[in-house]
Chain A
Amino acid sequence: MANGFKYGGYMGQLLRVNLINRTVSKEPLREDWARDFVGGAGLAARILYEELPPKIDPLGPENKLVMMTGPVNGTIIPAASRTAICAKSPYTKSFFHSIFGGFLGPELKFAGYDGLIVEGRASSPVYIWIDDDHVEVRDAAHLWGKDPFKAQEILRKEIGDEEIHIATIGLAGEEKAPYAMILCDIRAAGRGGMGAVMGSKNLKAIAVRGTGGVTVPNILRVYNTALKLNQLVATVPAVQGLSKYGTPRNVAAMNEGGILPTRNWQTEVFKGMKDITGEVMREKVVKGDRACFACSINCTKYSVVPKGKYKAVINGVDYETIYGFGSICEVDNIEALCKADELCDHYGLDLISTALCIAWAMECYEKGIFTKEDTDGIELKFGNVDGMLQMIEKIGKREGLGALLAKGTREAAQIVGKDSYRFTVENKGLEWPGHTCRPFPAAAVGYATGPRGGSHHDIRPTAEKSGLVDRRTLEGKGALAAEVNHWLILCDSMLLCHLGEPIWGPLRISDNTIEALNAVTGWELDYEGARKIAERQWNIIRCFSAREGFTREDDRLPVRFMEEPVPEGPMKGSCIPKETLERLKDDYYAYRGWDLKTGNPTKEKLIELGLDFAIKDVC
């Protein structure tokens, strides 16, 4: 295998860059950690648990930024091209993995590395240039202040290679806005403020060129596995539609089902839905389709608004844009949503958090908490398209009310007071994505206990949304949430795309997932073996949070979800009252073997999983 590493799929080494003294070192990947934590989020969590002291400032030089690949990255396995960027989050204050698609992860492996660890803080703006074996820290003063796409353009030109892949931050990251994202070519590591961590290090960009390949133990087995998986991608009904319509394929269906979050989650039916569907997007703005490395799903849409005040060129919009700036802000103009998407990219902002912050401000305005004096004259009502776009700019520049909203809804509500926390929609500080849990108990407990909070990638409501599992009962929902956690975290360590959910899940780790991992690494894991790895990964992340001081009390839902039933539509009356949530948490902790009082893993569980080293921190 590569570099004499014991297992297939791995490059066998990590790259470490210290920005204080601008040194670069290469170190062997620990074989035991690869076997126990695989890669991606799982391996990054293990590394950061080891290397970060508890309770450090996420924006201080002690924090480390880890870009991690997985063993399947860079092979011909489809829907396996994602990359994890991990750190202690300035937004959620615990371990965070932000995952993006595209080409960067495979390219890093082709350069010869399973991952990159960035530590310290440069004294002035820099970028990291990785060119196979040659790695250097270069001056980036000329890139500072540039938007991510412009910075990428300059770098490709000055390096003289159009094929390099680049992760960059925008103004929000440079200014350490806590929900700043990282733009990786055209894809975003959007959530959790990883862009702020990068900015705190004075690190503008990471550019990668690799010319090697990935070695596997049995190429015929990998070929046959890829063939089978591509066949599934082409035929499994629940995957269809992504190629043509992208992730917005289900906007109209969700609205019909009464689960399209609307008006800052005051309701889940949007009357203006018909103008912002995937079908409308395809007809009006989509000009082409793009795929990630070796992926046959082809879900990214290239869209253009050629003229007018919403003129924009974007890769999207995705469902989350339509949810966030569409139904949540009650905007029914697809061209304006393209503009909102473009502005978030321009400033380097996580669009979900940006949208939810603006929707919260709209509700504050309509309830009289904010006036035109607060909004610099903007009548910030739901449905005010141009007001919404102006607010994105204000957040990006941290001007006026934008400076408050750039802090996120949790902190903004604490500053504003007046019970405005009652209509913040976040957990652990992270604003909610566009997937409800009010009618879905397993999803509710999954969101509440998720390490990232408002993330639909720690839990998926799909089993309950599709009727595969009865959404009306509470029994067994703790177990379901835990097993969904497991297939998700295993995917996030292999860097498999969650859009392949029917193939990789959806109820538990699937045989397809295990076969992909076995084929590439040469392992012969059975279901129990794969599940144990995933359980270990989930527990090390929980230990990280526990060490930071998180407890059962932090496993919450927004007040709105507990106290305000859905007011209309087919899910009318749905909500998760606090006592129901607490019962679900008991069920979930008990299934996991966690302490019911603290929500922490028990000593016995940690020993069982080989995480003995964490006992002193959390038990």
Chain B
Amino acid sequence: MARVKVKSFSVIRDVLGASVVEIDVVHPETVGGLFEALVQKYGPAFKNRIWDPNTGEMVPFLMKLNEETIISSTSDLDKEIQDGDEIVIIFPIGGG
């Protein structure tokens, strides 16, 4: 089991209830497993922020792993995570 810190902002933070939450990832201990655990804990309100309900697909976005490494929802869901890791959700960014 890996206990992971998840940092988020804006409407994802609103769903998670705090800017940083901790969650246990049991199996698989991967980035994809982390999101499954988050859906289990926070339900459709979280899922609908990450998976487009119109297509059923996870939307593309970047994450920051342990301060420096940028990973992506499109290519890094199989990446292993370790106990104590921190992941920042850098949600799809447009501009005004």
Interface membership of chain A positions 271-282, coded 1 if the CB is closer than 8 angstroms to chain B and 0 otherwise: 000000111000
A615 part of interface (Cβ distance < 8 Å): no
Contact A460 B94 (CB under 8 A): yes
Interface membership of chain A positions 229-266, coded 1 if the CB is closer than 8 angstroms to chain B and 0 otherwise: 00110011110110011111110111011110000000
A397 part of interface (Cβ distance < 8 Å): no
Chain B residues closer than 8 Å to A498, beta-carbon distance: 94-95
Residue in B74, B90, B94 whose beta carbon sits within 8 Å of that of A468 in the complex: B74
Contact B61 A318 (CB under 8 A): no
Chain A residues closer than 8 Å to B60, beta-carbon distance: 466-468
Chain A residues closer than 8 Å to B96, beta-carbon distance: 246-248, 299, 318-320, 499
Contact A465 B93 (CB under 8 A): yes
Chain A residues closer than 8 Å to B10, beta-carbon distance: 241, 244-245, 249-250, 252-253, 278-279
B50 part of interface (Cβ distance < 8 Å): yes
Bound-complex Cα distance A332 to B74 (A): 34
Interface membership of chain B positions 9-52, coded 1 if the CB is closer than 8 angstroms to chain A and 0 otherwise: 11101100000000000000000000000000000000011111
Interface size class of B (residues with CB under 8 A): 35 or more
Contact B94 A570 (CB under 8 A): no
How many chain-A residues does the 8 Å CB contact rule pick out?
48
Chain B residues closer than 8 Å to A254, beta-carbon distance: 90, 93
Bound-complex Cα distance A298 to B73 (A): 28
B54 to chain A, nearest CB (A): 6
Bound-complex Cα distance A434 to B73 (A): 24
Contact A256 B64 (CB under 8 A): yes
B89 part of interface (Cβ distance < 8 Å): yes
B43 to chain A, nearest CB (A): 15
Bound-complex Cα distance A249 to B58 (A): 20
- Looking at chain A's contact residues, the main secondary structure is helix
Bound-complex Cα distance A241 to B53 (A): 16
Question: Which of A231, A235, A433, A465 has its CB near the most chain B CB atoms (within 10 A)?
Answer: A465
Contact A257 B90 (CB under 8 A): yes
Within 8 A of A (CB), among B49-96: 49-54, 59-62, 64, 67-70, 72-75, 88-96
Chain B residues closer than 8 Å to A235, beta-carbon distance: 48, 52-54
A571 part of interface (Cβ distance < 8 Å): yes
Chain A residues closer than 8 Å to B61, beta-carbon distance: 466-467
Contact A237 B59 (CB under 8 A): yes
Question: Which of B54, B74, B88, B92 has its CB near the most chain A CB atoms (within 10 A)?
Answer: B92
B6 to chain A, nearest CB (A): 12
Bound-complex Cα distance A570 to B48 (A): 28
Chain B residues closer than 8 Å to A232, beta-carbon distance: 54
Chain B residues closer than 8 Å to A231, beta-carbon distance: 54
Contact B93 A570 (CB under 8 A): no
Beyond A232-B54, A245-B11, A466-B72, 14 extra complex contacts between A and B, CB < 8 Å: A237-B50, A237-B52, A238-B59, A238-B91, A241-B11, A249-B10, A250-B10, A254-B93, A256-B9, A256-B88, A257-B62, A466-B60, A467-B72, A467-B75
Residue ranges of A at the interface with B (Cβ–Cβ < 8 Å): 231-232, 235-238, 240-241, 244-250, 252-254, 256-259, 277-279, 299, 318-320, 433-435, 456, 460, 462, 465-468, 470, 498-499, 501-502, 569-572
Residue ranges of B at the interface with A (Cβ–Cβ < 8 Å): 7, 9-11, 13-14, 48-54, 59-62, 64, 67-70, 72-75, 88-96
